[in-house]
Amino acid sequence: MRLRTLLIVVFLVAGAGAAYLAWDRFGAPTAPSVHPVRGTAAEVVYATGTVEPEKWAKVIALQRKRIVALCDCEGKLVKKGDALGQLDDAEARNLLRELEARRARLAGDVDRTRGLVSRAAATQTALDQLITQVSEYDARIAAQEDRIADLVLRAPMDGVVLRKDGEVGEIANIGASDVIFWVGQPKPLRIVADVNEEDIPRVRTGQAVLIRSEGFKDAPLSAKVGEITPKGDPATKTFRVYLTLPDDTPLKIGMSVEANIVTREKDNALLLPAEAINGDIVFRIIGDKLVRTRVKTGIRGSRMIEIVDGVSEQDVVASPTETSFRDGMRVRAHSEEGTRVRAPGAP
């Protein structure tokens, strides 16, 4: 009986030990981990914008008329004043001919009245009235000629026809922003970006800018802050900032981009991923346990945060931190050494 009892106790102890070892190896939650690294800490201001030429202009119709002709000149060089399109001017020319006919009749009346005045058969007042009417028609004719000239869509500057919108037969000038041609210089390019008003005090001309574009995800793109519009938009609470692009930029006119304006940099800073830090708390992994550690942070970037005090390069830190983490909690790291994160700019 004693032997049987002893064997049961031994089996129970062995089972409990095996269960504990199994839980210790497989039951503890997994905690992905990283080592802090040395790199460049950058504080940035986020902005969004679009790419456009530094010198360009829109060509719109000043009158609501039907389009009767458009040049096949998209992507081609044009000179200032070149005709790009024609709006229907039949009605305007008919009115011009009517004005010219009325003016010609009044001019004949002036000649006849002048002869009568010389023979004292008409008054000088009558002659003056006719001369005034002729001058009025001269002004009307000049104004009508200007209206007819406005029906020809001309290039406002030397450059390339960047885009053509509209087709023959459509009515131009239906909307306030109906643009038929965009004409400009393909180079140099810039980005017109919007920056939130709470961030604009940190933005200065000459600051470096990191650009992200969906069309060039793998290409490092850069720019510089060129100009800052003095007045913001109270409706959107943003300021317009012009970012100057290098001549060899692969970005195309009209592309939308995200911009990170670097307002402050620090070399050889100790960095941790932003997801490893909850406020000023990180969880170091010592052995198989979490150790809640308070850190002092410095520059906060979009991905990495500078650690001024609290951890060292040799520490293993849980990343990302979880709300379920507690001081002293048993965890299983991915590896005993942890995973060393890459510093910004590392290949």
pLDDT tens track for 238-262: 999 999 999 999 999 999 999 999 9
Domain boundary among 264, 287, 320: 264
Same domain membership, residue 156 and residue 71? yes
Q: Is the pLDDT of residue 339 over 70?
A: no
Task: Establish if 20 belongs to a structural domain.
Answer: no
Work out the average pLDDT over 197-205.
Answer: 93
Is residue 6 a part of any domain in this protein? Answer: no
Residues 93-119: tens digit of each pLDDT: 999 999 999 999 999 999 999 888 888
What is the Cα–Cα distance from 149 to 140, expressed in whole angstroms? 14
Beta bridge partners of 265: 42
Domain assignment present for 25: no
Q: Which residue has the higher pLDDT, 76 or 336?
A: 76
Range of the domain at 68: 57-88+152-183
CB atoms closer than 10 angstroms to residue 97: 10
pLDDT at 22 over 50: no
Work out the pLDDT band at 344, boundaries 50, 70, 90.
very low
Closest CA to 319 of 339, 298, 292, 346: 339
Q: Which of 24-28, 176-180, 220-224, 296-300 shows the highest mean pLDDT?
A: 220-224
CATH number at 77 reads 2.40.50.100
Same domain, residue pair 64 and 78: yes
HSE-up (13 A, CA, CB side) for residue 78: 27
What's the gap between Cα 62 and its chain centre? 29
Determine what percent of the chain falls in helix, strand and coil, rounding each to the nearest 5.
25, 35, 35
The total of structural domains in the chain comes to 4
260 and 189 in one domain? yes
Which H or E run includes 262? strand 256-273
pLDDT for 274 equals 87
DSSP letter assigned to residue 245: P
Answer yes or no: are the C-beta atoms of 34 and 303 closer than 8 Å: no
Provide the residue type at 109 as one letter. D
Q: Are 73 and 161 part of one and the same domain?
A: yes
Going edge to edge, which strands form the sheet with 67-70?
67-70, 83-87, 152-154
Strand pairing partners for 208? 224
Q: Quote the tokens at residue 82.
A: 């070149």
**What's the whole-number average pLDDT of the chain?**
85
- Where is average pLDDT lowest: 51-65, 84-98, 176-190? 176-190
- CATH classification at residue 288: 2.40.420.20
Residues 162 and 76 in one domain: yes
Predicted confidence (pLDDT) at residue 58 exceeds the cutoff of 70 = yes
pLDDT over 80 at 23, yes or no: no
Same domain, 282 and 143: no
- 336 and 270 in a single domain? The answer is yes
Cα separation, 317 vs 275, whole angstroms: 11
Does 255 or 321 have the greater pLDDT score? Answer: 255
Q: How far apart are CA 272 and CA 344, in angstroms?
A: 11
Q: Which of 43, 53, 315, 91 is nearest to 182 (CA)?
A: 53
Residue 13 has pLDDT above 60, yes or no: no
- Distance, CA of 109 to CA of 104 (rounded, Å): 9
Query: Strand 289-294 relative to strand 238-244: parallel, antiparallel, unpaired?
Result: unpaired
Peptide bond into 320 cis (omega under 30): yes
- pLDDT higher at 9 or 220: 220
Above 80 in pLDDT, residue 235? yes
Are 168 and 196 part of one and the same domain? no
Rounded-to-integer distance, Cα 316 and Cα 34, Å: 6
